[in-house]
Chains A and B, each alone.
Chain A
Amino acid sequence: DAKTTQPTSMDCAEGRAANLPCNHSTISGNEYVYWYRQIHSQGPQYIIHGLKNNETNEMASLIITEDRKSSTLILPHATLRDTAVYYCIVIGAGNNRKLIWGLGTSLAVNP
C-alpha cells in the first residue's frame, strides 16, 4: 500500500473551513484514499473515502487531484469538537486488513 505524508499539525479558527492535505504520490490505480480521525482518548472514527472522484458526506468533503497524487479533506465549518488527529490512509481494494497508519495531522480548532 502507498505511503502518505501529512503535516504534523495545523490550526483552524472555529467556524472556518479546515483544509487538511495529504500526499500519496505513489498511489496506484486500484488504491482508495481513506480518512479517519481520532479524538483524544477515543478510538479512531471513519470520516470519508474516495477513489478518484470528489466525495462529500455529512462530516466532510474529500477532494482528490486529477493525478491522484494528493488529496484534501475539508471540514467546511470547523467546531471545537473537530479537534483531533486526522489520518490519511491509502489502501488497495481487496486488502481488507492492515490499515497502515502514519502519525496523522493534529488539528487544533481554536475559539
Chain B
Amino acid sequence: GAGVSQSPSNKVTEKGKDVELRCDPISGHTALYWYRQSLGQGLEFLIYFQGNSAPDKSGLPSDRFSAERTGGSVSTLTIQRTQQEDSAVYLCASSSPRQRGVHNEQFFGPGTRLTVL
C-alpha cells in the first residue's frame, strides 16, 4: 500500500513569508509525528498527534510554528514569518499502535526540504 507522502518535496521561500507543509499518513494510522532535520543533524521532534487526543506540541520551537490534523488523517505544518534558521528538512511519520502503551514502528515520509532565503 501507499506509504507516507509529503508535499511539496522542495520549498524555497523568502524570509518573512508563511509556508504550509502537508503530510498524508498511511491510511488507518492513528498517530502522526512531525520532525525537522537540519543539515548534518539528527531529527528534532516537533509535534505528535494521536487520534482525537490533544496534540503534544512540546517540541515546537516557537509560536510561529503550528500544526493541524483534519479528520484524523492529513496534517499541515504551518510556519509563519519564516526565518533563515527554519531552513531544514521537515519529516512526517505515522504509526499504528498495536499494543497499548508500547512504542510502535514509525513510518516516515520522504520529507520536505525548506529553504528560507
Partners in one complex: yes
Known: A42-B110, A46-B105. A96 touches B45 (CB 8 A): no
Chain B CB count within 10 A is highest, among A41, A91, A96, for A96
Number of chain A residues whose Cβ lies closer than 8 Å to a Cβ of chain B: 24
Known: A42-B110, A43-B4, A45-B108. A99 touches B43 (CB 8 A): yes
Q: List 18 A-B contacts (CB under 8 A).
A: A32-B103, A43-B4, A43-B91, A43-B109, A44-B91, A44-B93, A49-B103, A93-B102, A93-B103, A96-B97, A96-B103, A97-B33, A97-B48, A98-B45, A101-B42, A101-B43, A102-B42, A104-B42
Chain B residues within CB distance 8 Å of chain A: 4, 31, 33, 35, 41-45, 48, 50, 56, 58-59, 91, 93, 95, 97, 101-111
- Chain A residues, CB < 8 A from B41: 103
Chain A residue with the shortest CB-CB distance to B113: A41
In the bound complex, what is the Cα–Cα distance between A50 and B108 (angstroms)?
20
> When the two chains form their complex, are residues B45 and A97 in contact, meaning their CB atoms are under 8 A apart?
yes
- Chain B residues, CB < 8 A from A32: 102-103
Count of inter-chain pairs, beta carbons less than 8 A: 63
Which secondary structure characterizes the binding site on chain B? loop
Which secondary structure characterizes the binding site on chain A? loop
Known: A32-B103, A46-B107. A98 touches B48 (CB 8 A): yes
- Chain B residues, CB < 8 A from A104: 42
- Chain B residues, CB < 8 A from A102: 42
Known: A43-B91, A103-B41. A98 touches B59 (CB 8 A): yes
Which A residues between 81 and 110 are near B, CB-CB below 8 angstroms?
87, 91-104
Q: Shortest 5 CB-CB distances between A and B: which pairs?
A: A43-B108, A101-B42, A101-B43, A98-B45, A46-B105
Shortest distance in angstroms between B41's beta carbon and chain A's nearest beta carbon? 7
In the bound complex, what is the Cα–Cα distance between A43 and B107 (angstroms)?
8
Shortest distance in angstroms between B22's beta carbon and chain A's nearest beta carbon? 15
> When the two chains form their complex, are residues B102 and A94 in contact, meaning their CB atoms are under 8 A apart?
yes
- Chain A residues, CB < 8 A from B97: 96
